[in-house]
Every structure is written in C-alpha cells, then in structure tokens.
Amino acid sequence: MSTKDYVEKDYYKVLGVPKDATTAEIKKTYRKLAREFHPDANKGDTKAEDRFKDISEAYDVLSDDKRRKEYDEARSLFGAGGMRGGGTNGAGYNFDFGDLFNGSPAGGAGSGGIGDVFGGLFNRGGRQPQPRRGADVETEVTLSFEEAVDGATVPLRMTSQAACRTCAGTGAKAGTTPRVCPTCVGAGTVSRGQGAFALSDPCRDCKGRGMIVDDPCTDCHGSGRATSARTMQVRIPAGVQDAQRIRLKAKGAQGERGGQPGDLYVTVHVDTHPVFGRKGDNLTVTVPVSFPEAALGGTIEVPTLNGPAVKLRLPAGSANGLTLRARGKGATRKDGTRGDLLVTVEVTVPQETTGEALTALEQYREATASQDPRADLFRAAEGA
Ligand SMILES: [Zn+2]
Ligand SMILES: [Zn+2]
C-alpha cells in the first residue's frame, strides 16, 4: 500500500461503517463481509477476491486503534479536500506524491518539504515496522552446595546485543533521524504474488527494518545494535538441583522497536559438599557411631548444614546403616518449608585396641561366646 492509497482510500466506505463506528462494530462488520467474500467461498471470482483484499486492508487499519487514529489524522490533513485541488466532488486529484517525496520544488524549499511531514506522521505509528521480541539468552552459573539448598542471589555477567546507546537504537548519526523506507513504506516486507494470499518477503532496500538511515551512527555503523555487557543480580530459587535449567522470564536480550525482551535460561551447576549430600528436598549425612553406642543406644550429636548441631536418639541395638531422620533440617522447598536431614549411622570398628579397652573386649567375647552371629545365616542356607 502506498501513502497515496493510504490517504485516498476510504476504509470506512469499504467496510460500510460510519466514521465513528466502535472497534466492536468494525469487527462485527468485517467478520460478516470476510465470510461473504472469502476466496474459499468464491472460487475463481476475482472481483470477490479483490473485494476481500480491500476489506482485509481496511480492517487491518481500522481495527488497530493506533493506525486508525493515524489514518484519520492523515485523511483530515490531506485527504478530504486539502490535496484534492479544491474540487468539491473529490475528482480533482492532481498532486504527484512521488514528487513530493523526492523533495522536488513542489514540496517546498529544499529538504523541509511535505515529504518530511509525511515521514514524521507515519513514523509516529501509522506504518511503523513491527516490534521484534528479543532473543533468548543462555548462560551458566555455579553455586555452592549451600546456595543451591537455600537459594541465592548471584551476579550474572551477560553480554548481549542491546540498543546502541549513542543513537538509542535508531542507527542514525546524532542530529539525524532515519526515514521511512520508500520501497516498503515502513512495513519491512514486500508482497510477492497476487491476491489475498500474497507472500511477503523482507524488504531488500531496508533489510526488513522499515527505515533507511542516510547518515549512520559511527558507533554501531547504522545497525542500531551494540554488544553490551551488563551484570544482573539474579535470584536462583532454593532447592535448585545440579544441571537444572532455570527460565527467567524477560531477562534475555532486549526487544527491538518496543518488542518484549527474550527470556534468560540459566543452567545451574552445584558444587558437592564434603559432608552433606542431597536427595530431592532431603539432605543426607553419614554419622559414625561406636559399637557400644549402637548396641546400648544413646544420644548422638549430628551437624546440620546451616544451623546448630541437632541431638538424635539412637535406639539400643541399632544396626549399621540404620537411617534416622532430623525433621525440617533439609533443603528449602518452593513453598518455604524444609525437607529432612537423613542421618545414616555407620558403626565404626577401632583399628587397634589396647589396654583397658582390650581387656573389656576380651571379657565381652567370653560373655557372648555361646552366641553365634552366623547361626541364622546357616539355618537359612540349609532351609533353602
Ligand atoms: Zn523497505
Ligand atoms: Zn548507534
């Protein structure tokens, strides 16, 4: 669609709605007309196809509040009489927009012609290039075991493509502004093929940006983009596991032309801990106990990850490998509660026994000589 079309075409007439129609009315009318003139319902009828195209075009502009306002403004300024050579019947159109845009004498002295007026006008929203969402960004972070358990705010240094600061992303040298690409009239795309289902390709003249920069910014060479390094404080939630990938919404690369930023994906590596392990929300620890402790029972002290030691009751006759549970001393869950600390007892055997301990052990052996610890084993083996 050219600028001339934009001003010449009466989209209200095309849809058959009053100029003050509400968006809902426009939508309703459009739906009705679109059904009626849809190419699928009118196979081979080129008139219906053209009509469908006009309807779609009109709807595109009038259903978009911003574009509709722009359109109304353009028409009230240049369309409804002002540009029509004074004719009251609307037939006296006699200006060549092409000349105006090219800065011919008809457009006024030098560069400040009516083309600039249009450039500014459409730049404000009428045919603005589409916003583009920023790219997703991947990064990695290594957390200590404790940070992963409790959650941590860590600084992430990110390099990304952001808007050039010198030109604020426009790509134009200071004091100049980019102009709307005349080939695609700011759309960034050009249509290929005919009819309502024409394909669109990125515009070659402006490389899909919809704008042309005559004097490029020296810092970004007109791209409007710059590699920027930024350090972000990122909150890693409690309970994150090694190799887990976390998505942080809208923390990725910035969008273009008002588009949404992309997301940031952080792959987390968690260091191991010399004492504690992790099983889901629970922490694990192995605690040595002596044979008398295991046999007679007692109270044992167990270290916790981030707090004072806890005392646990070890029942008399505890077998090697028995697991005790210290409630609420595990990893923080998403809801703020904590898992448990699973304490596995490991009965230790002294490497060397001397003196009173040796005498006592020898007495113990004599006292238990009639108890064969393997009796059950042999019974079971024979029975099988
Ligand atoms: Zn273009
Ligand atoms: Zn720049």
Assign residue 316 the CATH number of its domain: 2.60.260.20
- CA angle at residue 75 from 210 to 37, to 5 degrees? 75
Residue 129 lies in a domain: no
Asked if the structure places residue 254 within a domain, the reply is yes
Same domain, 16 and 103: yes
Q: How confident is the model at residue 195 (pLDDT cuts 50, 70, 90)?
A: low
Do 210 and 183 fall into the same domain?
yes
Number of structural domains (the chain) is: 3
Nearest ligand to the CA of 203 is 1
pLDDT at 162 over 80: no
Report the pLDDT averaged over residues 257-274: 89
Q: How far is ligand 1, taken at its centre, from the CA of residue 212, in Å? A: 8
State the ligand closest to the CA atom of 212: 1
Which ligand approaches the C-alpha of residue 221 most closely? 2
pLDDT of residue 107: 34
Quote the domain boundaries for residue 201. 136-268
Distance 3 CA to ligand 1 centre (A): 14
What's the pLDDT band for 384 if we cut at 50, 70, 90?
low
DSSP string, 142-182: EE-HHHHHH-EEEEEEEEEEEE-TTTTTS-BPTT---EE-T
**Same domain for 258 and 145:** yes
Tell me the average pLDDT across 172-187.
87
pLDDT-wise least confident of 1-5, 33-37, 48-52, 60-64: 1-5
CA dist., res. 39 & res. 43, Å (int): 6
- Sheet strands (E) in 169-297: 179-180, 189-192, 199-202, 211-212, 225-236, 245-248, 264-270, 277-279, 282-289
Same structural domain, 89 and 46: yes
pLDDT tens, residue by residue, 306-327: 889 999 999 999 999 999 999 9
Shared domain check, 299 and 364: yes
CATH of the domain at 215: 2.10.230.10
Examine residue 128 and state whether it is found in any structural domain, yes or no.
no
Residue 1 lies in a domain: yes
Residue 172 domain-assigned (yes or no): yes
DSSP state, 195?
S
Q: Same domain for 108 and 178?
A: no
Q: How far is the CA of 341 from the centre of ligand 2 (A)?
A: 56
Same domain, 259 and 284: no
108 confidence band (pLDDT: 50, 70, 90): very low
Bigger pLDDT: 244 vs 50? 244
Instruction: Assess whether pLDDT exceeds 60 at residue 84.
Output: no
Mean pLDDT: which of 35-49, 157-171, 246-260 is highest? Answer: 246-260
Q: Are residues 25 and 63 in the same domain?
A: yes
- Single residue among 268, 291, 308 that ends a domain in this structure: 268
Is pTM beyond 0.85? Reply is no
Alpha carbon of 363 to ligand 1 centroid (Å) = 99
Residues 199 and 89 in one domain: no
- Pair (242, 312) in one structural domain: no
Burial 269-296 (b: 16+ CB within 10 A, else e): ebeebeebebeebbbbbebebeeebbee
